[in-house]
Structure 1
Amino acid sequence: MTGISELGEFGLIGRLAARLPAAPAVLLGPGDDAALVAAPDGRVAATTDLLVEGRHFRRDWSGPYDIGRKAAAQNLADVVAMGARPTALLVGLALPPATGTAWVERLYDGLADECAETGAGVAGGDVVAASEVTLAVTALGDLGGAQPLTRSGARPGDVLAYRGRLGFSSAGLDLFRAGADGPAELLDAHRRPRPPYAAGAEARALGATALLDVSDGLLQDAGHIAAASGVRIEIDTARVPVPAVLGPDGLRHVLTGGEDHGFAGTFPPDAPLPPSWTVVGTVAAGTVTQGTGVVVDGRPAGPGGWDHFSS
């Protein structure tokens, strides 16, 4: 097995760059001092995330391809949540020198294939040696002349709806921790999220007043909308579907589980929401000063969701 230390930094970069397909907005890709990415709108939506081995993924649970897709997905979803079209990723990669070349190539295959879901491409990045695998991914996007969909536009009377899966990754994480071998659907959901990328453009067309990527759990992320908009969000659990595959703790996973990277938004009460969007609550005047800023079944919700510094 060829290791990356045998290739050297520039040999590895050249090998990875050769695997990356072209993307429409990437005018100049890897190989120069900087990439060139088209920005027809004149504004660029930009976001960045870090994934650290042992904290955000484990190599004994996830293969390199899934890690690559997960790293791309969580950044692409943030761009989509702003109502923008993803155009490019920049990837900083830290690797132990003993890492096999084939492992890194599969990682980049995952990055490239997830980008292809949105029409984006990997425009460049950097590779360094480190004691553990770390990915620093920056995603760029174009608004196409439209205003961004932010967290601050929710208004009293709006409804709260989500599109995508909730709780699957969280349930899968519990299974991994318990050493269980199934259900495979949940284990796969933790390895690789599947954001419904069409949700951004769809939400805009439906008149969304606020939108975000559900990365830290529905309660916590709905709380971000509530805080930014100066409103109270009331969730009715009777309206929240809980798939049987999530098991006896299904409602907890749905309300507080992160990393599925679906989308939650607020919409005018008369918005013609299709079945792909599930209404789970409403927006009311006033704020909740404790917990998440969200009311669940009439009671303020306590802290919920993922907090990077909580443990």
Structure 2
Amino acid sequence: MTFSEEKYSDEPTRVQQLVKDFFSDQSGADVGADGLPVTLALGADAKDDCAVYDIGAPVTLVVGSDYIRGPKFILYEMGLLSNFDIGYYLAAANISDVAAMGATPIGLLSVIRYPHELDDAGFQDVVAGVHQACTDFGTLNVGGDIGNAERLILSGTALGICPPGKTLKRSGARPGDLLCVTGTCGLLGAAVAYFPKRDSFTHTLPADVEKELLDSWRKPRARVAEGRVLAQKSFATSCQDTSDGLKATIEQIMHASGVGFRIDERNVPVAPAVRMVAELMKVEPLALTMSASSDFQLTFTVAPDDVSACRAEFTDLGLDFHVIGEATEERGARGLDGERSRPLPGVAWKHQKSDISLLASEPSDP
């Protein structure tokens, strides 16, 4: 459906006419995985109050909810992200939560509240982004809530399943376990640090680097395949996604598991684009890599004896991870670089009131 002029339909019209193309032919779909029979008995196409799943075998249902849109979603406010992009991000953020628990997503419930100023085309773009992300991650947007608000507000609830006893948790890391991460962190945080202050730096980044930073927001990847391997093969003793940044994730696993961590700073992967932004900000690249950033990588611990088998499973699926540290009996997380030992650099996301672009340059906690 295309629009040649701006239109502002009422809520019933938007639900009945603009959303239906994304919700068709859902009811009766087989959404199970890994030998677990699950049927979406009533999908959004049924136009009922709730989605209904028929679960025909013992199965663990994993449910996670996340609100992602606020007045400080700065790259959207700057016009650098589209309505489609933030719809996609909504789905990815919620699906990432169930992926971090080792679950396979079977559906997403979405809340889309919009201001009167958002025309039909803009509204449809948000829904299209949610729909595309669900398609990319192998699941369905099964409806939710749509209506007016004073500004655009997005929230979601992801549903996932896994075999009983296979759920991954933040707790469970043991002294001696190795700490791993599925890829580079800090790209999304670097984008937020760079673009609002772009004109104040001594120079701007090359166009391809700017595109890489924005693309990290436009289609972030929930690590569904990685989570399933870690859960089903019982490799991970603990796991969490890096939606609050790598430093925050390490600290949260540490507290939940009752262990400490030694991080080999030389083994933490740093993206070239993050390194370039850090140079402009005059902060060390590792600090920016570990600071607040919603990269949706998985950080997990694994017993030393299982690392080789885990890597082989990852490699067979075209996946990878980096071993960046070790769990210790002594509490606290410290970075090691040769003989140097220090508190982890960077600033963990703790819902600060300050501008996120300043976070990486704040001093580390003592």
Separation in 1, partners of 2:218, 2:71: 13
Alignment of 1:123 with 2:142, yes or no, is: yes
- Cα deviation 1:118-173 (Å, max 9, x = unaligned): 22111111112112100111111111334210011100110000103311111111
Report what 1:188 is aligned to. Answer: 215
Q: Structure 1 stretches of 5 or more lacking a match?
A: 289-293
Given candidates 20, 23, 26, the residue that maps to 1:20 is 23
Deviation of residue 42 (structure 1)? 4.3
Given that 2:287 and 2:347 are in contact with CA atoms closer than 8 Å, whether structure 1 keeps it comes out as no
Alignment of 1:253 with 2:288, yes or no, is: yes
Report what 1:44 is aligned to. Answer: 61
Report what 2:249 is aligned to. Answer: 221
Q: Which amino acid aligns with 1:195?
A: A
Q: Which amino acid aligns with 1:50?
A: Y
Q: Which amino acid aligns with 1:222?
A: I
Alignment of 1:240 with 2:256, yes or no, is: no
Q: Which amino acid aligns with 2:42?
A: L
Report the RMSD for the aligned CA atoms in angstroms: 2.0
Report what 1:212 is aligned to. Answer: 240
Report what 1:266 is aligned to. Answer: 301
Q: Structure 2 stretches of 5 or more lacking a match?
A: 32-39, 199-203, 355-366
Report what 1:65 is aligned to. Answer: 84
Separation in 2, partners of 1:239, 1:186: 22
Deviation of residue 227 (structure 1)? 0.4
Separation in 1, partners of 2:54, 2:299: 29
Deviation of residue 206 (structure 1)? 5.9
Alignment of 1:199 with 2:226, yes or no, is: yes
Q: Which amino acid aligns with 1:27?
A: A
Report what 1:106 is aligned to. Answer: 125
Deviates more, 1:114-123 or 1:78-87: 114-123
**Could you say what secondary structure the match of 2:97 adopts?**
helix
Report what 1:283 is aligned to. Answer: 327
**Could you say what secondary structure the match of 2:236 adopts?**
coil
Alignment of 1:296 with 2:335, yes or no, is: yes
Deviation of residue 70 (structure 1)? 0.6
**Could you say what secondary structure the match of 1:209 adopts?**
strand
Deviation of residue 187 (structure 1)? 1.9
Q: What percentage of aligned pairs have identical amino acids?
A: 29
Alignment of 1:145 with 2:151, yes or no, is: no
Aligned residues: 304
Given that 1:164 and 1:196 are in contact with CA atoms closer than 8 Å, whether structure 2 keeps it comes out as no
**Could you say what secondary structure the match of 1:74 adopts?**
helix
Report what 1:176 is aligned to. Answer: 195
Given that 2:103 and 2:224 are in contact with CA atoms closer than 8 Å, whether structure 1 keeps it comes out as no
Given that 2:63 and 2:157 are in contact with CA atoms closer than 8 Å, whether structure 1 keeps it comes out as yes
| Structure of higher CA gyration radius | 2
Between Structure 1 and Structure 2, the one with more helix by share is 2
Deviates more, 1:185-194 or 1:219-228: 185-194
TM-score between both structures, scaled by the size of structure 2:
0.78
